[in-house]
Structures are given as structure tokens and as C-alpha cells.
Chain A
Amino acid sequence: MTISTAPVSDPVATDAPPAPTRRRRPGHAREWWLGAVLVLPAVVLAVLFKLVPLVRGVVTSFESSSGFGGSEFAGADNYTRMFDDPMVLTSFRNALLVVATLPVWIVLPLILALLIHQRSPGWKFFRAVYFVPYTIAPIVVGIMFRQILAPDGPLNALLRFVGLQPLAIEWLNGRYSALFSLVAVALWSFFGLGVMTYLAGLATIPEETLEAAYLDGAGFFRRLWSVVVPMLRPTVAYWSVLCASGVLIWLFPLIYALTQGGPGDATMLPEYLVFLTTFQFLDRGYGSAIGIALFVFVAVLSIFSVRHMFTEGTRKPR
């Protein structure tokens, strides 16, 4: 018997995956190019209609313009000016008050969607009716509610009729009642979209899970908080992002038709101030600076939800 001293091949090495080859699979490059070509139109559109206007807005915000004449570089003047402008400060304060109503925007449609989803009496009717306000153009909604909220309008007539005379106030005349009315009208106009969004999310929850919770004796709110909300987290996050940005950029047509930012500055929000400054005061640079400030404000508000959605979306299944 001879003992060989020749090196024995490493058994581990045979189990290891083969070293990556430098050569790509023959179809790989073609697939990559095909993917790029398919994505290209979307990238071009995004650059043209999102990135370019944004960059243009940023550039304009550093310019000073007089009326419709030429413009010149103004450094950060437009931005520093905002801190001394009471109208800008009030508009952002009003924006914060509007943002404070976000829980209502998120929870109310969820409850209504759940009631529809569990086939409460009349669910088919309500499913259709809730969505109708969303289909009415916001400018029409604004004009409509100007009449409804008038001191002698139908809302106050109804309140007086049912004996709630003290509640029949001049809705659009008070500092806080005007802002509250604006938000309430916006909620009326948009909650149908929230209901639809949640219904789409609810459709992904297995019936058996909800039934099991029901059979285990869980009531409506227990099922809501312990079953529905955890399983609906991605949808809630999506709707939250939409609302957080939406309450600050959806309201323009309603402000325009309903209050024009008044009385005084009671319903002045940054998006309306951007419009007013740019097109009525003819101060394009300053209007752009307020617009960029609004963009940052909305981005900061949305970033937490977007991050959460990204984490959820990229988490690998266990």
C-alpha cells in the first residue's frame, strides 16, 4: 500500500457555487436594452414634466422680477423675505391647522369602508353614493357650498328647523369657522376616494381571518384595530401620504370658489398664496420661493409615511 502525498482536491470546493463567469448570458444584454427602452418614455415624461418644472421653479425662486418685466438674480432674498411676511407665516400656520385634521381624513373613510365591506344594511347604495362627491369638479363643489353655507342657506335653515339655532352661525365669516368649513367641504369632496382605496385594500384580507375573529367574539372595533388595521397597513400608509400632501395641494379650487383665502387671511393656504403672489401681485420670484417652501413642507410631512411604505415594500418575506 502506498501513501500518496499528492494534494487531495478540497471537498468543500466541489460544493461551492461556480465562480461567476465574466460572460453574460447571450440574451441578457438584449433584455437590459429592452427594459431600458420600455422605461425610457416614463423617464423622459418624468424629467420633462416633473424635474424640469421643479428645477425651473427653484431657479425662479432665486430671481427678483418686477411685474411682467425681466428678472435678475436675487440670491436668497425671496426666502429671507418670507420670514418677515405675516401673510406667508399665517398661510403656513393655517396649513398646520389643516394638517392637524389628518386623523379624521384617515380614520373616517376606513370606518366607512369597513362598514361597507362587512355588508352593513344598504352597503351597495352607500358604496355608490360615497364616491359621487369625488366625481364633482372641486370648483363646482366650492360654488355649491357657497350657497349651502350662506347665513340664510340650507344648512342653517336645517339647523334652525331641528332646534339647533345656536349652531346656525355665519360659517364663512369667522376666522376658525371659515377654515373649518373649508376643510369639511374638502373632506366631503375627497373621502369617497379614501373609501374606495380602503375597499381595494380590504379585498386583499382573507374572509376567513375576519370570520375567525368574529367567531372568537371580537367586536367591530376589536376587529378594526387588531385584524384590519395591521393587515391594511400598506394601504393606510398609502392613503396617509396621499392625504398629507393632498390637504396642502388639493384645496386650491375650493379656496378659489369658496373663500378666496378670506375673510382676511383666515383660509389663506400656501398654495393659494403662490397663485396670488405670482399671478395677481406679479411677483414671480417670490411666488416661486413660497412654492418651493410648500414643496419642502409637504415633502417633510410625507417622508415618514413614504419611508415606512418603502420599508414595507422592500421587506423580504419570512
Chain B
Amino acid sequence: MFRRRLAGALAAGMAAAALLTGCGGDDAADGPVTLKVLTWEPGGAEYWKQVKTSFEGSHPDIKLEMQSVPFDKYPEVQGPYITSQSGPDVMANNAGLELFDRRGAYVPLGDKAAEINKDLVTYSGACEGFDTSKTCYGVPFSYQGNVLYYNKAVLTAAGLNPEQPPATWDEFGAACEAVKKAGKTCLALGLSGTFPAYWDFPEIARNYLTEDDIRALLAGKLSWKDPKMVSVLGKLAEITTKGWANKNAPSITMLPDGADIFQRGDAAFAGTIISDAVNWEAFGKALGDDKLGVTRWPAIDPAAPLAGKFSGIEGAVYGVTQWSEKKQAGLEFISWLAGKENGELWVKYGKGQPLNKTVDKALLPSSPAFLKIQELVAQPTLHAGVMLSGPEADALARGWQQVTLGQLTVDRWADQMQQALERSPTKKQGK
């Protein structure tokens, strides 16, 4: 009798638990929904604290639980989540192929994409093939891209004019020789990891490729043995083989090691990004806003159609995961990210370039470097770095390390890049 009662009580308890958890459907009705967000915290911890406070303030039915992972460790944390189809409700990825690589993890936005897009400067990087008429998977709120920062004090000490940084490849070479004579490193560089692909490759590639070439690169249809691509690799190699960079570049990462060299005042130049980390704000704090200059990477062929353009791309893109049981709440959060309120938080606390056109211009920083970046971003082009697959980005970094150490020729590097392209599962998909 007792056993029967116990079994009855257990069954009733289990049924109640099932109702409370599983059968509650999407977004539980009782109490706030907790959204788990995987992010590398672009813009810094303070900005994300503000995001949480502001969003939860205006959405009392949704709580945010942030899982913050350093940028260079992010793929290793995210990969297992995607492979096991479990984990956070909302995740971030860089716009471009990185997002396309992982598009199976995200819920397509459908008609919602057009609504999100209406106030944004650009949105294509979150959509298939950089085309907003195709499927879009997430929401960006920042603008990202590459520039060359320089330390005016180091240039002055080397006898160079800090108001006229080198504009061509030859001028850059001459400036490097002068900087080296003054006892400093010319270009702070770290070649370990994917940073060379994102930060340096697109700046050289702009001198040899057209936008159609860059789209072909995304589709896996541009061979690395093409003379244009071999030329790009050749110029990348020159940066280290001519001694313009720090000698330990092959064994260090750009973030934080390479950026540290520049922030310590030991290097004249550093090629990094305009938003998120290691941008004008971080460097301005380290060196002083008056000592920090910013310019476009030197042109190899000033007559090339994209030589005077800015390699721009939407920054981190946030999407709702396929396995999330709180998709509606996730969609609300990412839509809010693209809005004016977050755009202004991004400017104020993240010190980044906003994508939302309605952001109050009075909020924009007055730093000379920021204002110069505003000029540079006015002529954007496609970002070749975000078109590379994982194997290509890895082979680019390893090949550059080996070329620097004299273990590989540029032609052999091109062969390795082509092999990497051929074993890229995501680029096979596009064919």
C-alpha cells in the first residue's frame, strides 16, 4: 500500500516537473527568461555591463547571463557547443565566412532582417554571400576594419615627419630603416593564430584584387596559385623578410603580444582594428591621444582600384542558436542590439564605430585618431580577411611564420594555401 502511494506521489511529482520545465514551451510564462549569451565582450567589460543593465531595465521579463571568453580562445569554446548542438541561446561570430562557417548553428532571421537593417549603415556581412536579399543569420551593431596606427614620438625620434606618415610601400620601407636605426621596431607584429588573416592580409590584398576577386575568394573560386594571390603573399613576406617587424613575430600572437610592443612605445607602427580591442582608444590611453596617429596601410600600387579604400566589415554578429528553447527572447535581444539605445552605449562605453545611423552625433568621441578613422571609413570595400576559411587562415599564419624563418618559399606557401583551400569543408559547400 505504502509502495503504491509512494509510486503515485513520484509520478505526480515528475508530471509537475515536466509541466514546469519541458511543457512550458518556448519562453516560460512564469518569471523572467534567462538568456545565455556567449561573447568575447567586444567593447570591453564595462560596455557589456551597461548592455545587461539597460536591456534588463527595458525588458523585465528577460535576464542576461553572459559567458565571456577571450577573443583568441573563442573558436575553441564555441566549436564544441556547435558540434554538440547545445549551450548558449545567443552567440557571437565575426561577420563573413566565420559566420557562414557556423550558419548551421543559427536561426535564419527571415523578414525580421529587413526590419533590423533599416537603420544600419551596412548589414551584408551577416547575410549569405554579402547579399541582404539572401538569408541573414545575425545582427551586427559595430563597424570594424583595419588601419595602421603609429606612434608619433617614435617617428619624430627617427627623424620622420609624424604628420606625414608613409603612404606608399617604398616610403614605408624607408621609414622602417630610419626607425630601426633609431633602435625601435618598425611594425609590431605577431603571426601566431588567425590575426594575420584578419588584420594584415586584406590590406595587401586590396592592392591586387577587385571586389569580384574578393567574392570569388569567399566562394573558393580564386586559386591561391593565381599570380595576383602569389603577389599578395610575396608582399606579406617582405614585411618580415626585410626586417620591418620584430624578430620574434613567428612565435607570438598579435593580441596581446604584438599589440603590447606598440603600447609600450617600442614600435613605430601597428596594424590593428578600429573597434573592439586594440583600437584608437586603447592605444590613445597607452601612448596619449596626442602621440597616436592613424593612417591607411601604405599603397603598393596606388593606381589599383581598391588601394585607397577601407577594408570594412560589420563587427561581431549576434545570432540566436538553433537549439535554444528561448528563441523569441533571443530575437528580442539581438534586435535591441542593433537599435539606437545600444548604438549609443557602444559609442559611449565601447568607444567603437556604431552601425546605427540614428546614434546622436554629439556622443561621438573627439579623439583626433577617431576623427581620422571617420574619414578613412567613408570609402569602404569588402574585407578580404573574413573571406578565408579556417584552414586558409591557419595556413596563412603558419606559412608566413615559415617564410619569415627561411623555411619556405613564397611559391611553396601559395601551394600550401591552395591545399588549405581544397580541404576547407565550408568552401566545398559553396561550390
Contact = CB atoms under 8 A, between A and B. Distances in A.
Contact of A66 (B82, B248, B394, B425): B425
A259 B251 contact: yes
A66 B423 CA distance: 10
B75 to A, nearest CB: 6
A154 to B, nearest CB: 15
Interface residues of A, number: 33
A279 B79 contact: yes
Contacts of B397: 262
B24 interface: no
Interface string A63-75: 0011111000000
A276 interface: yes
Contact of B405 (A85, A151, A260, A264): A264
Nearest to A276: B394
Contact of B423 (A170, A263, A281): A281
B83 interface: yes
- With a 10 A CB-CB cut-off, give which of A85, A151, A280 has the most chain B CB atoms: A280
B425 A67 contact: yes
Given A68-B83, A68-B105, A282-B101, A262 B401 contact: yes
B366 interface: no
B193 interface: yes
Interface string B222-249: 0000000000000000000000000110
A67 B104 contact: yes
B247 A170 contact: yes
Interface in A88-115: none
B104 A264 contact: no
A264 B401 contact: yes
Interface in B87-112: 101-105
B251 A170 contact: yes
Contacts of B402: 263-265
Contacts of B404: 263
B259 to A, nearest CB: 15
- With a 10 A CB-CB cut-off, give which of B79, B191, B429 has the most chain A CB atoms: B79
B405 A67 contact: no
A68 B102 contact: yes
Interface string B73-88: 0011001101100000
B43 to A, nearest CB: 25
A173 B394 contact: no
A282 B425 contact: yes
A247 interface: no
Contacts of A261: 398
28 contacts: A66-B425, A67-B102, A68-B101, A68-B104, A69-B429, A86-B419, A259-B251, A262-B192, A263-B250, A263-B251, A263-B398, A263-B404, A264-B401, A264-B402, A265-B398, A265-B402, A276-B394, A279-B76, A279-B79, A279-B83, A280-B79, A280-B390, A281-B389, A281-B390, A282-B79, A282-B426, A283-B425, A284-B83
Interface of B: 75-76, 79-80, 82-83, 101-105, 191-193, 247-248, 250-251, 253, 389-391, 394, 397-399, 401-402, 404-405, 407-408, 416, 419, 423-426, 428-429
